Structure 1
Amino acid sequence: MTGHHELARPLRSPADLDPLLERIGDAGIVAIGEASHGTHEYYAWRAALTRRLIEERGFGFVAVEGDWPDCYRVNRSVKLRDGAHEDPRDALDSFDRWPTWMWANDDVVDFCRWLRGFNVERPEAERVGFYGLDVYSLWESMHELIGWLREHEPQHVQRAIEALRCFEPFGEDGAEYAFATRFAPTTCEQAVIDLLRHLAEERSRGTAGDPEDRFSAEQNAVVVANAELYYRTMVQSSAESWNVRDVHMADTLDRLFEFAGDKAVVWEHNTHIGDARATDMAAAGMVNVGQLLRERHGTDDVVLVGFGGYRGGVIAGAEWGAQMERLPVPPARSGSIESVLHGLLGEDSLIVVPGHGEGPEWLHGRLDHRAIGVVYRPERERWGNYVPTVLGERYDAFLYLNDTSPLRPLHLERPEEHVPPLAHAV
């Protein structure tokens, strides 16, 4: 294992990201991962890189692994829209889908406050946005859509209410709906299709209301359709429902390119960002956002940035829907990517992957790579939490962090907060 010193550079301040900025060049999509949803250092370094991309390279929006309605409230705040929260913290503190700590935490607050300050100095049409890519918010998106229709297209309100009424017997519970569709012949699919068709017909005739709010309403309609499909496939095939979710996220990003600008920073877990073809996910029939971005936009226009940590602490739940805890992260499994880098480097480092298959053995061999989701049990490390990975194919750059610490959430999980159905822990 030679050549690691030529690849790795110490990572101590945002200025140390210069080699990565050089690698990014003129690329229009930079997707930045995280090895857990609860680690301060991943969020802080991701924000530092994103700030530089916005300030120095003109990136136009940030798109994250979060629900569209929640993130749109943040977007309105950072863009200083009329009636929006003056402090993005208030918008983030209102997130109520478990696990709220993914976005309702101090690091995201710090970044969004910075982004609002950055936007103050810019013309309204050039302000940098903050959007959610995820698919879970079926009911929230339907309620948002109905509210918009009442104000702008009242002729469609009744059809939207009828579509929502189809879901009412399931108590706004995706799992209840999913299991019901498995054993009953009727689904809400047709009601959603009819609603989308009528909205599309109306869109071709006019452009009522504020353009961004109209785009948001249309996106909520798309979420409803794809969430219905996601929950319906969830009980049939884990791989298929995963694919519905990641294709939805990639499609949403493409829709945003048409509306919000042509240069995007994407924030998601490594499991979505790193190219699935360089892991065991491909053999399971799964695709992900990183793979789809490379396939759709070309490797020259896409830079995938991964993270990994050797030891430390994390915020997670011991089971799905459980109260968050500060949990220890033990030293990485022997022979894993994180363990190898700890032995070679022993300090926080940036690795920019060379082209043409160059570089040391650990970059091109298949090694275990730790992935901590929102559910984490440290005592199970020896059996799980690792994804077989070819690092140099999965990412274009990698930030290795020797010691990590937990995020600081804005609030504990509240009993009334909605818990999505158990499907995927990342």
Structure 2
Amino acid sequence: MLCKPRQRIRRWQLLLILVVALGSAVAAKVQASEQHYRAFFESSVLPLSEPAHLAPMYDAIGERRFVLLGESTHGTHEYYHWRAEISRELITNHDFSFIAVEGDWHAIYQLNDFVKLRDSVEDNASGDARTLLRNHAIRWPRWMWINEDFADFLDWLRAHNAERPMAQRVGVFGIDMQDPQDSMEHVLAWFQHNDPSNYPQVADAYHRMLDFPEEFRGYAQHLVYGGERLNNQMALAAKLLHDQLGGNPADADKATWVARENALVAKRAEAQFHGATQLGPESWNARARFMHESLLRLAKRHGEESRGIVWAHNTHVGDSAATNMSNRGEVNIGHLLRISEGEDDVFILGFGTYQGSVIASPSWGEGQQEIAVVPAHPESYEGLLHQSGIQQGLFLFDDTARQGDLLAPRHQRAIGVIYTPPNEAYVPTILTRRYDGFIYFDETQALNPL
């Protein structure tokens, strides 16, 4: 009778010992992994205090056709400064032909006219990017492009282009589609002026969408309540323009090519908003596929020997297959481009920070604020880099960095246009597979909006 309680006590003691031992083993494994990462960072970091320190990265880029430059926020001065520095070098000494940014096609194309010194932009006479940007109708979040760093880069690119014939001038293009209404208005104006016979049917198709309260957002609500999908209507203008171009849109005159690109914005935007009403990744993927396809169309437009630079958030350029995005079926430009063009033709550079300040907003559509970036989680990549004592540095990843513990996912910080610390977003990431290189800053400063 007295033995049974003692046996039960021994079993619980054994169970407790096993739990503690298991927890200790897991903790030891985590600690060993963290130590491995810190040792890797300390041994592989390259200095980055002046532009000349980027030379090893240019060697790694070699003859690759596409260079994707990321950012872990949409409002950090250092990211814009170093992306501009890298872009100047690639354009000046490596024959890169165009820059594609995470901005709306229609809005950014007006900046393209500016940097190429086309007479259609009123501010070309003064050559002042700041005046142009302050008066430019770019949607919220305006600070992404209406800021001192981007203005400096546009002024440099305009001066660089002024010494070259039009065919050799480097342009800036948007490959996003978050403001489809402006693109639709552009397409309607093109049909009214250039193809009046087809204008009525295109206008009728587009106004089916534009007549909803809040336009595309109203359309999404219409779908939720079982309304008719308007995918054929939104695809009509793109099809008519494609037919007119005889299947060779890359060789079209400038006005017709621009109209077709804007028509494709409307077509893909419909797919994005339809996807938003469904369970799954289709809304995100519609945007990602548009960015990828738009980039490839730009490359084709610029010729077989053209080379392109992309500025976009890490979430878009860092290969989604090396993150938990793949678990949700989500793709992005980096992943799609590595598949379509091959990894040897794509170089992806990520950016990250431990702490500092950033321009962001506390909620969607609200005004911009300078917000303190709180120290990163100690177990994140940024946390381990901080613990390694690295203030600023460049990392380049080869096959030796893609094995063993370095293939274990770890959190990487991601700050978007909305930032409400202490609420933080982190993406489980295999850093050395997500990127070909990485630039880290221990502390960063906010952009200076115009």
TM-score, L = length of structure 2: 0.86
Aligned ranges for residues 248-397 of structure 1 at < 5 Å? 248-261=290-303, 262-357=306-401, 361=405, 363-381=406-424, 385-397=425-437
C-alpha distance in structure 2 between counterparts of 1:321 and 1:345, whole Å: 37
Query: How far apart are residue 6 of structure 1 and its match?
Result: 4.0
Aligned residue identity for 1:286: E
**1:354/1:149 CA distance change after superposition, 3 Å:** same
5 Å matches for 1:395-414?
Answer: 395-410=435-450
Go from structure 1 to structure 2 and tell me whether the alpha carbon gap of 1:217 and 1:407 turns closer, same or farther (over 3 Å shift).
same
2:130 counterpart letter in structure 1: R
Displacement of 1:64: 0.6
Once the two structures are superposed, what CA deviation does each residue of 1:36-75 show, in whole Å capped at 9, x if it has no partner? 0011111111111111110110100000111001010000
Paired residues of 1:311 and 1:329 also in contact (CA < 8 A)? yes
CA distance in 1, matches of 2:402, 2:217: 47
Letter in 1 for 2:133: L
Give the letter for the 1:377 counterpart: T
Displacement of 1:88 in angstroms is 3.2
SS of 1:292's equivalent in the other structure is helix
The question of whether the paired residues in 1 share the 8 Å contact of 2:354 and 2:443 is answered with yes
Alpha-carbon shift at residue 172 of structure 1 (Å): 4.3
Contact 2:210/2:216 (<8 A) preserved = no
Q: Tell me the residue number matched to 1:143.
A: 185
Question: How far does residue 215 in structure 1 lie from its aligned partner after superposition?
Answer: 1.3
Q: Is the 8 A contact 2:402 2:433 kept in 1?
A: no
1:159 Cα deviation after fit = 2.1
Distance 2:400 2:184 in 1: 47
Gaps of 5+ in 2: 1-35
Residue 131 of structure 1 corresponds to 173
Relative contact order, CA 8 A, sep 6+: which one is greater? 1
Higher helix share: 2
SS at match of 1:10: coil
Separation of aligned partners in 1, 2:422 and 2:81: 27
**What are structure 1's unaligned runs of at least 5 residues?**
411-426
Kept after mapping to 2: 8 A contact 1:60/1:128: yes
1:92 CA displacement: 2.9
Q: CA separation in 1, counterparts of 2:130 and 2:255?
A: 21
Q: Which has the larger radius of gyration?
A: 2
Change (3 A) 1:293 1:301: same
**Whole-Å separation in 2 of the counterparts to 1:144 and 1:12:** 44
Q: 1:89 aligns with which of 106, 130, 134?
A: 130
Q: CA deviation at 1:205?
A: 9.4
Q: How far apart are the structure 2 equivalents of 1:198 and 1:106?
A: 41
Q: 174-183 or 21-30, which moves further after superposition? A: 174-183
Flag the 1:380–1:205 CA change in 2: closer, same or farther, 3 A. closer
1:206 is displaced (CA, Å) by: 10
The letter for the 1-side match of 2:56 is P
Q: Which residue of 2 aligns with 1:416?
A: none
Q: How does 1:82-231 map to 2 (within 5 A)?
A: 82-84=119-121, 85-86=123-124, 87-93=128-134, 94-204=136-246, 211-231=253-273
Q: Does 1:27 align with 2:27?
A: no
Aligned to 1:42: 79
Matched, 1:72 2:114: no
* CA separation of 1:56 and 1:6: change in aligned 2, threshold 3 A: farther
SS in 1 for 2:422: helix
- Secondary structure of the equivalent of 1:9? coil
Tell me the percent identity: 38
Classify 1:206/1:359 alpha carbon distance in 2 versus 1 (closer, same or farther; 3 Å): closer
Query: For 1:139-197, what per-residue CA distance to the aligned partner results, in whole angstroms no more than 9, with x for missing partners?
Result: 11010111222232222222221122101331343221111122133132222233332
The structural deviation recorded for 1:212 is: 2.3
* CA RMSD across the alignment: 1.9
1:413 corresponding residue in structure 2: none
Gap change, CA 1:351 and 1:360, over 3 Å in 2 = farther
Tell me the CA shift for residue 137 of structure 1: 2.2
Provide the residue aligned with 1:242 in structure 2.
284
Provide the rounded CA distance (Å) in 2 between the counterparts of 1:242 and 1:92.
29
Residue 268 and residue 205 in structure 1: after superposition, are their counterparts in 2 closer, same or farther (change >3 A)? Answer: closer
2: distance between equivalents of 1:242 and 1:206?
29
Tell me, in whole angstroms, the C-alpha distance in 2 between the residues paired with 1:92 and 1:260. Answer: 26
The alignment partner of 1:281 has SS state of helix
Residue 184 of structure 2 aligns to a residue whose secondary structure is helix
Output the CA distance in 2 between the equivalents of 1:340 and 1:119: 42
Number of the residue aligned with 1:423 = none
CA displacement 1:222-241 (0-9 Å, x = unmatched): 11111111111112135210
- The aligned amino acid for 1:347 is Q
Report the AA paired with residue 137 of structure 1.
D
Looking at structure 2, the residues matched to 300 and 238 of structure 1 have their Cα atoms a distance apart, in angstroms, of 31
CA distance in 2, matches of 1:147, 1:353: 48
Q: Distance in 2 between matches of 1:339 and 1:11?
A: 19
Q: Describe the shift of the 1:360–1:189 C-alpha distance in structure 2 as closer, same or farther (beyond 3 A).
A: closer
| Structure-2 separation of matches of 1:172 and 1:210 | 33
